[in-house]
């Protein structure tokens, strides 16, 4: 790979975070759909707001209208670097490099380019894309961010192409890990005509790639034929095709181990709005062969895991390390908690109505003498008998009367704590993931 740029000054720890004296671009009130889209991109917002990594902000800059608009919108961010990939597939490729360098200089943005060789055999589109992303992956250092100019029309094209080629139509993720850094697509909620409108209003110059008119290429055929007819017949179809597919986790079924093929695992992760790198899919397949009592887990996104329990995989959020303080509760009064709802039903025998108790969480080693048994039993054993997954056990409430454990809701009442007519507690855990799937914080 050849470089065609002046050497870049290595990014310091503060190059991508606005200083105290430099106004953040996010301090402005957005008056444009492009600026609003940037605001709504979580990884980019965290990065620019100083809450995330302090690496470099790279903008993939082809010279086309999409990347020109994106670079212009991000030009005020300190430390932004425009990166151009020269595929060498067009006779004017060297002119494009010069054009991009000139535009970047006009924007006050540092510029770099890389030349790659694309295998002309087979599918040239896919070969160029693979080579391009390989460069990006090598380029990104720890905590770097790469912004790409894909928009809503591109997302719709991708999903139609995936559907027509027998793939799961999950589209392109808005953000995912790439190399040691992050890839983000801030314009996924913006239509193509809105991108052009921004470019015209700001007097921007861009290159029209002749390849974009080649109907022999799959994407162009979909763009100029299939999508145009769909939009004419069903107005609004394109935006519906490009809408985010973050399925409610409450509706996301576990993935049976027997269905954890490459395609099955990819579809399952996409349904949860999670990235689908091949190494993650391969690891889930490998761990599917582990013994049932292993309960393996695989990191699928920062703070989010695929956990196997028995013969199925589940999406689980990292509960964190903090232990909540005890919560006061009165027998008979329902309590809504972050992880679920503690509620009561009449029971004979049961805990005395109106009794003041406290809600605690597992620390390990707890025992209780369940009603109807002569000896104590470990709470862990109760969970195992009831087939409660390990990740649910840490959030399961335990009821105490002073220091004495008197109930494991839904599983056991302490024999010494009941009266003839009372109430028994039940626990309804939330089925949704309790925090965002995609964050910048890595474990």
Task: Assign residue 183 the CATH number of its domain.
Answer: 3.40.50.620
* CA distance linking residue 45 with residue 140, whole number of Å: 19
Do 234 and 367 fall within a single domain?
no
311 pLDDT more than 50: yes
Domain-embedded: residue 435: no
Lowest mean pLDDT among 68-72, 131-135, 197-201, 268-272: 268-272
Residue with more model confidence, 107 or 181: 107
pLDDT of residue 234: 75
35 pLDDT more than 50: yes
Do 238 and 262 fall within a single domain?
no
Lowest mean pLDDT among 14-18, 185-189, 271-275: 14-18
Domain-embedded: residue 436: no
Domain-embedded: residue 366: yes
Q: How many domains does the chain have?
A: 3
Do 306 and 344 fall within a single domain?
no
Q: What is the pLDDT of residues 211-225, one digit of tens each?
A: 666 666 667 777 767
Domain-embedded: residue 438: no
* CA distance linking residue 312 with residue 306, whole number of Å: 10
Segments of 261-371 assigned E as strands: 297-301, 304-309, 312-317, 327-330, 335-337, 340-347, 356-360, 367-368
Do 98 and 158 fall within a single domain?
yes
Do 237 and 268 fall within a single domain?
no
Do 10 and 97 fall within a single domain?
yes
410: exposed, middle or buried (Cβ count in 10 Å: 0-12, 13-18, 19+) = middle
% of the chain surpassing 90 pLDDT: 29
Threshold 0.75, pTM exceeds: no
Q: Which of 194, 227, 242 is the last residue of a domain?
A: 242
Do 140 and 228 fall within a single domain?
yes
Lowest mean pLDDT among 46-50, 255-259, 272-276, 349-353: 46-50
Q: What is the pLDDT of residues 323-364, one digit of tens each?
A: 567 789 999 988 887 778 898 999 889 999 999 999 998 888
Do 225 and 302 fall within a single domain?
no
Do 220 and 287 fall within a single domain?
no
Domain limits for position 202: 2-242
Cα-based angle 196, 200, 203 (whole degrees, multiple of 5): 135
Do 297 and 378 fall within a single domain?
no
Residue with more model confidence, 13 or 431: 431
Lowest mean pLDDT among 68-72, 209-213, 309-313, 345-349: 209-213
Do 11 and 104 fall within a single domain?
yes
Do 366 and 220 fall within a single domain?
no
Domain-embedded: residue 204: yes
* CA distance linking residue 70 with residue 73, whole number of Å: 5
Q: What is the pLDDT of residues 370-385, one digit of tens each?
A: 998 889 999 999 999 9
Q: What is the mean pLDDT of residues 232-241?
A: 74
């Amino acid at each position: 790979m050849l470089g065609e740029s002046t050497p870049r000054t290595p990014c310091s720890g503060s190059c991508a975070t606005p200083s105290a004296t430099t106004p953040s671009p996010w301090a402005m009130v957005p008056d444009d759909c492009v600026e609003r889209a940037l605001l709504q991109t979580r990884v980019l917002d965290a990065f620019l707001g100083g809450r995330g990594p302090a690496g470099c902000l790279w903008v993939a800059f082809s010279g086309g209208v999409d990347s020109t608009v994106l670079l212009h919108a991000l030009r005020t961010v300190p430390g932004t670097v425009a990166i151009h990939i020269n595929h060498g597939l067009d006779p004017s490729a060297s002119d494009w490099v010069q054009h991009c360098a000139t535009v970047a200089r006009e924007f006050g943005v540092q510029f770099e380019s890389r030349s790659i060789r694309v295998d002309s055999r087979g599918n040239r589109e896919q070969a160029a894309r693979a080579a391009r992303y390989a460069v990006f992956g090598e380029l990104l250092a720890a905590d770097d961010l790469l912004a790409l100019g894909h928009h809503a029309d591109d997302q719709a094209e991708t999903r139609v192409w995936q559907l027509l080629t027998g793939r799961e139509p999950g589209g392109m993720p808005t953000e995912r890990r790439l190399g040691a850094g992050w890839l983000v697509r801030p314009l996924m909620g913006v239509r193509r005509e809105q991108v052009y409108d921004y470019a015209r209003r700001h007097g921007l110059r861009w290159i029209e790639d002749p390849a974009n008119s080649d109907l022999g290429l799959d994407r162009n055929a979909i763009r100029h034929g299939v999508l145009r007819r769909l939009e004419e017949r069903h107005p609004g179809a394109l935006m519906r095709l490009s809408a985010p597919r973050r399925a409610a986790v409450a509706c996301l079924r576990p993935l049976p181990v027997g269905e954890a093929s490459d395609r099955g695992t990819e579809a399952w992760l996409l349904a949860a709005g999670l990235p689908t790198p091949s190494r993650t899919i391969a690891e889930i397949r490998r761990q599917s062969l582990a013994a049932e009592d292993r309960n393996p887990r695989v990191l699928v996104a920062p703070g989010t895991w695929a956990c196997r329990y028995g013969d199925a995989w589940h999406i689980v959020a990292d509960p964190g390390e903090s232990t909540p303080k005890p919560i006061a509760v009165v027998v008979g009064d329902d309590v809504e908690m972050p992880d679920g709802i503690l509620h009561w039903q009449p029971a004979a025998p049961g805990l005395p109505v109106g009794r003041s108790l406290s809600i605690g969480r597992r620390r390990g080693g707890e025992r209780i003498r369940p009603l109807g048994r002569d000896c104590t039993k470990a709470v862990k054993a109760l969970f195992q008998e009831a087939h409660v997954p390990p990740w649910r056990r840490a959030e399961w409430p335990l009821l105490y009367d002073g220091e004495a454990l008197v109930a494991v809701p839904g599983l056991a009442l302490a024999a010494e704590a009941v009266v003839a007519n009372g109430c028994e507690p039940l626990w309804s855990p939330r089925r949704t993931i309790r925090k965002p799937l995609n964050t910048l914080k890595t474990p």
